[in-house]
Structures are given as structure tokens and as C-alpha cells.
Structure 1
Amino acid sequence: MTDPHRSLDRRTLLRYGTGALAGAGLATAAGLGLAPAAAAYGWPASLKQGSTGAAVTELQIRIAGWAADSASHSYVAVDGQFGPGTYAALRRYQSAYGLGVDGIAGPQTFASLNALESSDGSTAHFEFSEFHSHDGAGFSGGKVGSATVKENVRKMMYKLEAVRKKAGNSPITINSGFRSVAYNTSIYGYATNSQHQYGIAADIVISGHTTKSAYQLGERSGMSGLESYAHSWQHMDSRVEHAYGAQSWWWESGTV
């Protein structure tokens, strides 16, 4: 029998709310708090336009889903250079999370970003296992090494955190994340350069939203690959940001 105290971790409560406590028969008295996310990244005092380096790269990864206000062929370059694109995306992030909108990443912004991080490097609302290849290969057997796949998946998680936030915090189900070459061939033999094989794609369902709505969210979340919304899921990928052979924008249903 599963111990309800162990199963109701921080991620569970973020997904389902404090009602999960009552459902498990646990007290909800004032003062009962959640364990904070691990502050795994050592941020500097602040980052602003003109800043460079690894901390800027990490910031860009975490705000990449805030690339645009409306449908736009734009994405946040993850290059360690804090320029106008990073500045604009950071301001959108700050506005969405109720922070001071100044385009400067400081303690409040870093605390907010760390709250979206889990101790294993995944994000608050997504687990690495949700993106594993369905043939049991985990992150192995792709067109790049497993460590690269895992890092690509982490980047996609942060984009999907933005999609989730823009969807009113509606839960997102990952139907398909990474696919090993063998698994991808077994189901889509013709899709030899599927972006799933690199860990930069996800087929998702957003609770309470149509696939058209999901497509539209992808248009302003830095997603350069969007399959037609005529399916029961919405495919999203980040092909333009990676040198994997499919670097042209592909919005199958056009701009919606």
C-alpha cells in the first residue's frame, strides 16, 4: 500500500492543488508548507542586457517559452548573450508571474525560476519519465546521445511550462516525447528525421483546450514546428533552434 504522505510530493500538489491534501485525509491547517524546489542553479546577483555567460544561457532556457506576445516566427536564442530578445522574453515572464517588469533578472525573478525547477533537473509540472521512449529505451537509441536527449527534453519542459501558464495553468498530458530510432521506425517508418528522435518534440493534450487552442499557444511560445491541429493531440517542436536537419519553420496549419 502506498504511503499517502510520500505520494503527495511538491509536484503532485502543484498539479492538483491543495485539494489533494483533503482527498488523502491530511490536515490543511495554516502553516503547512511545501518543501521548496531545489535551487540547483547558482545564479549571480543579477542579469541584464549586456550580460554574458553560462547564467544567461540558463536564463534563456527557462524563459524560452515567452518568445512572443502573438503568433510569431521568433524564438529566444540560447547563446549566452543577453540581448533584446532575451530582454523582451524576460519581461513577458515577469508580467505573467506577477513580478516587477523591468527586464532585469534579480532575486525575485531567480526565486520564481527556481520554483519551476525540481531537484532532479526536471520542472515543476513535468517528469523526465513522461518523455521516455515508449519502447522502454528511456532516452537511449536516438539520433543523438542520451545526455543530449535529456538536456533537449529539459529545454522543451520549460517551453511547455510557458504553454501551461498561458493555458490558465491547465494540466498537460505528454502523449509522446522522445522516441528511439527503432521505436519511431516501427510506428512511422517514413518519418526518418522525426524531431522526436532528438528529444526536441512533444505531442501534447492540454486539459480543457482544443488542439487548435494548443496550436495557437505554440505559435507564441517559440515552437518552430507545429503539426496541423486536426488531430486529437498537438505536435510541437523546436527544430529551428537545433542543427538536426529540419531548420525551416513548419507550421502546418499556417498562422492561426
Structure 2
Amino acid sequence: MSSTKVIAGFHSILIRLNKYPESVRTVYIDSKRKDKRINYLLEKINSSGIAKVYPVGIDRLNSLTGNIRHQGVVAICDEIKLSNDLEEILDSANEPYLLLILDGVTDPHNLGACLRTANAAGVHAVIAPRNRSASINDVVYKVSCGAADITPYVMVTNLARTLRNLKDMGVCLIGTDEKVDNSIYSVDSTKSTGWVMGSEGDGMRRLTRESCDYLVHIPMLGVVESLNVGVASAICLYESVRQRTSGK
């Protein structure tokens, strides 16, 4: 029997129903909710013809999710196992790679935001070192709005070696550093590209920084000196999307 997990919130459950409807076993809904949003979810569940629905009290929903905000909807689903083999993931790509490399991102909210953005931008994989990194947990899943089920999160033992292997495969590694002169708009990311983000406190480690082909900054025109890693990742990834969809 496959293992199960609890999924909370409309976005995450709807993504499961759209992408893996057969994995949704049971959905619990707040018995007091009668609004359009809950009705839309019920229509999606009924059209799948698979999941069972149980109206329950708020205490039951809270007991299922703990401290995770559930919006009155909770689902019990089969675990989805994404490939953790980076070479296999990249071999299946039909276009230049777009990768997000996170060096030292330990906050689950930031990881969830990065996964959500990465999925929206069409990233093939998010890569992080096995140590000094957040793992996928309920908080990450909720913040990612279900993207953790779709975009592979590959945790590697040796990030520096992985970066060398990516360069051997023709991936251009672009690191972000607020102290350098060149901006994100100065580099071509239409070819296979890996955007490298460091931790908010310490930035990239030395070996990670030295592995980058380019170091660039995000222009900051106000008094704020930095952005959190989720926002910075979004800006960089969508510069690649802009270049690839507009011919630069």
C-alpha cells in the first residue's frame, strides 16, 4: 500500500486534482462553508469520480493539519514520487535547460516560494545541497501551492561537483551578487542556464561562487538594499522567460 500525505488549501488540492486526480483519496471540507470557492472544488472532485468527500467541523480539520492554514479544505492523498536523478530529469527536456540552484536556503517558506515560482517559470529542476538546505515538509508544500508535486527538488551530496557536471553539460551558471557591476540584464540566458542563489544572510559559499560563469546583480533603485531569495529567484527566472519568449 502506498504511503499517504495530508494536503491543505484550495490551490494545492486543485493542482492535485488536475495533475494526479487518481491520487486524491479523501477530501474533508468545513461543513459551514457554502461559498462559490467550495462549490467549485466540489465540482472538480465530483467530475473526477474518485475521491470521497466528508463535511466535518473545524476541529477535525485542525487536527489533520496541525498548525498549517487549511482554508477549510483538507485532502488525504497518495504520495507522489518525483525523480531525484538530475541526469534523468535533464535527458527528458526538449528545450534548453532552466535550473534554479539554491545554496544554503534553510527557511521552508522561502523554499516553498522558490518552488512555486520555479514551476510557473518552467524550471526543469530546483537543486540544493543535502546539508544546509530546507527539505520538503508540510510548510513547503503549502507555500508552494502544490508545485512541490510537479517541479523536481533534487538534493545533492556535493553541490560543487554537481555544478561542475552541469557546466560539462553546457549549462551556463549565473550567480547573484549585489556587489558586482553587471546586472541580470547583461547576460544571455536563452541557452541552458542555471540561476544560482545564496542564502539571505551569507550569500553563496566560496566554491559555489567560483563555479559560476557570470556574477550579476539585481538593480535596486530604492532604499531597500536586498530582496528575499523567493523574490530574487522570481526576477531572475522571469528574465530568462522574457528572453526566451521575446527573442531577447
Query: What TM-score comes out, normalization by structure 1 length?
Result: 0.29
- Structure with the greater alpha carbon radius of gyration: 2
Query: What TM-score comes out, normalization by structure 2 length?
Result: 0.30
Higher relative strand content: 2
Greater relative contact order (Cα 8 A, min sep 6): structure 1 or 2?
Answer: 2
